[in-house]
């Protein structure tokens, strides 16, 4: 039997690849793994524990109903970052404003993390895959001070690491530090992530398209033409592609990363800027897609080059296999 590599061993072995090889980013990634295990455990109990399943009763800044597990996950990750010592501030989908951590230790942290604690949360109550998405930056503000909004509003190109945790049929953590993409599956019996998907590559082309087709009539003509192409015999496979739409971006992306495919959520009248959030949904997945050989755009521009102006900014999103994204953009 070949030797198993734990996430911790992998992070330590790769530390020399990091832009600032002081061990801080390694510790931060381990903090994320710890929070991921806690949330995974909560997600697995969702149907059992009455007070975990169901609506929290509040609304987040975007007027969406918060599920209890959204809040549980948000708090678990915030706690891990606040106590870990490497992070000076965070922004998350579930908090209107960013949080600047107040302790002296946290003020000396060199990183900020932007995250979606639970993506696809409308799927919690129906036992369908959900996930956590995260994006890590070096702070711009001076070490020793409070984190600022400018620390949060960096363009995706500045990310030093990004990843996601998918609570699916198993729990998998996938991340990049800019040297390729690797995936680690959680063995729940012993609470350890093991390297299961080394050096992940997104196939250049695929035969899966993922869109909310309920919005089809609102798509602009180029995109409608692309969807018709996917459904026709005129594509490179000579038969219609398969439509697959889970409604959890992170799960749709993970499948397309492995099998080849495209996910599209364009701007539509009901979401005129797009549905998905640039800072904690699109940027981290765009970084991973590019590192795996894929592409991510807003339909025209590369996602990672967009200069953000707001924490909860939305954007149209085309992500997936390189040739499919190019074709969908009409190139
Ligand atoms: P979140 O649960 O974090 O708010 O994100 C939901 C997102 C994304 O995961 C999913 O692909 C998309 O919203 C689904 O939107 P529609 O229901 O409009 O298809
Ligand atoms: Mn989300
Ligand atoms: Mn969410």
Indicate if ligand 1 lies below 6 Å from the C-beta of 37. no
User: Would you give the DSSP letter of residue 281?
Assistant: I
Q: How far is the CA of 277 from the centre of ligand 1 (A)?
A: 10
pLDDT attached to residue 46? 80
Q: Is the CB of 249 under 6 A from ligand 1?
A: yes
Burial class (CB within 10 angstroms; exposed 0-12, middle 13-18, buried 19+) of 192: middle
Contacts (Cβ under 8 Å, ≥6 apart) of 326: 295
Atom 12 (ligand 1) nearest CA: 247
Q: How far is the CA of 4 from the centre of ligand 3 (A)?
A: 32
Q: Name the residue at shortest CA distance from atom 15 of ligand 1.
A: 247
CATH architecture of 7-197: 2-Layer Sandwich (3.30)
Query: Ligand 1 pocket, 218 CB below 6 A?
Result: no
* CATH pick for 208-328 out of 3.40.50.720, 3.30.70.2610, 3.50.50.60, 3.40.190.80: 3.40.190.80
* Residue (of 192, 191, 39) closest to 119 by Cα position: 39
pTM of the shown model: 0.95
Q: What is the pLDDT of residue 65?
A: 63
**Ligand 1 atom with least separation from CA of 121:** 2
pLDDT at 18: 66
Report pLDDT for 300: 96
pLDDT reported for residue 52? 67
Going from the Cα of 291 to the center of ligand 1, the distance in angstroms, rounded, reads: 24
Residue 68's pLDDT is 85
DSSP code per residue over 46-78: TTT-TTTSSEEEEE-TTSPEEEHHHHHHHHHHH
For residues 297 and 264, give the distance between their C-alpha atoms in angstroms, rounded to a whole number: 10
Q: Is the distance from the beta carbon of residue 240 to the nearest atom of ligand 1 less than 6 Å? A: no
Residues 135, 283: contact at Cβ < 8 Å?
yes
Kindly give the parts of the chain with pLDDT less than 70.
1, 18-21, 49-58, 63-67
CA pair distance 99, 91, nearest whole angstrom:
6
Does the C-beta of 212 come closer than 6 Å to ligand 1? yes
- Check if 93 has its Cβ closer than 6 Å to any atom of ligand 1: yes
Q: What is the pLDDT of residues 64-94, one digit of tens each?
A: 665 689 999 999 999 999 999 999 999 999 9
pLDDT at 55: 67
> Which residue has the least CA distance to atom 3 on ligand 1?
119
Residue the block writes with tokens 């109550």: 125
Structure tokens at 298: 């807003």
pLDDT at 278: 98
Q: Is 74 in the pocket of ligand 1 (CB under 6 A)?
A: no
272 by Cβ neighbours in 10 Å (0-12 / 13-18 / 19+) ranks as exposed
Q: Which protein residue's CA is at the shortest distance from atom 6 of ligand 1?
A: 120
- b/e 276-297 (16+ beta carbons within 10 angstroms → b): bbbbbbbbbbbbbbbbbbbbbb
Distance from C-alpha of 102 to C-alpha of 144, rounded to nearest angstrom? 10
Could you give the angle at the alpha carbon of 118 between the alpha carbons of 114 and 124, nearest 5°? 175
What ligand 1 atom has the least distance to the C-alpha of 93? 3
The predicted structure's pLDDT at residue 232: 97
Q: Which of 59, 65, 120 to probe ligand 1 with, by most ligand atoms within 8 A of CB?
A: 120
Domain locations along the chain: 7-197, 208-328
Nearest CA to ligand 1 atom 14: 247
| The pLDDT of residue 53 | 65
221 Cα–ligand 3 center, Å? 30
* Cα–ligand 2 centroid distance for 152 (angstroms): 18
Nearest in space to 138 (alpha carbons), one of 118, 114, 117: 114
Is the minimum distance from the CB of 89 to ligand 1 under 6 angstroms? no
Please tell me if the CB atom of residue 275 comes closer than 6 angstroms to any atom of ligand 1. Answer: yes
Ligand 3 centroid–CA 281 distance in Å is 9
Question: Is 274 a pocket residue for ligand 1 (Cβ < 6 Å)?
Answer: no
């Amino acid at each position: 039997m070949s030797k198993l590599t734990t996430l911790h061993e992998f992070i330590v072995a790769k530390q020399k690849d990091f832009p600032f090889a002081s061990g801080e980013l390694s510790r931060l990634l381990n903090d994320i793994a710890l929070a991921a295990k806690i949330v995974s455990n909560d997600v697995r109990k969702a149907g059992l524990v009455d007070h975990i399943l169901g609506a929290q009763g509040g609304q987040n800044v975007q007027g969406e109903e918060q599920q209890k597990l959204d809040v549980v996950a948000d708090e678990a990750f915030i706690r891990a970052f606040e106590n870990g010592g490497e992070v000076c501030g965070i922004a998350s989908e579930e908090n209107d404003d960013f949080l600047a951590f107040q302790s002296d230790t946290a003020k000396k942290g060199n990183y900020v993390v932007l995250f979606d604690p639970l993506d696809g949360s409308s799927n919690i109550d129906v036992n369908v895959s959900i996930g956590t998405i995260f994006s890590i930056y070096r702070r711009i503000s001076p070490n020793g001070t409070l984190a600022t909004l400018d620390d949060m509003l960096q363009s995706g190109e500045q990310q030093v690491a990004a990843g996601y945790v998918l609570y699916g049929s198993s729990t998998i953590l996938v991340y990049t530090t800019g040297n390729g993409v690797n995936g680690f599956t959680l063995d729940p019996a012993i609470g350890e992530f093991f390297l299961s998907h080394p050096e992940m590559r997104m196939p250049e082309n695929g035969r899966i398209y993922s869109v909310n087709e309920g919005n089809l009539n609102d798509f602009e003509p180029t995109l409608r033409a692309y969807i018709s192409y996917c459904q026709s015999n005129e594509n490179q496979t000579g038969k219609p592609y398969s439509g697959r739409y889970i409604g959890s971006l992170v799960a749709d992306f993970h499948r397309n990363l492995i099998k080849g495919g495209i996910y599209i959520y364009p701007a539509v009248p009901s979401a005129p800027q797009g549905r998905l959030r640039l800072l904690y949904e699109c940027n981290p997945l765009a970084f991973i897609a590019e590192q795996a050989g894929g592409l991510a755009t807003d339909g025209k521009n590369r996602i990672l080059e967009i200069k953000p102006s707001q924490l909860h900014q939305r954007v149209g999103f085309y992500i997936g296999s390189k040739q499919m994204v190019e074709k969908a953009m009409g190139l």
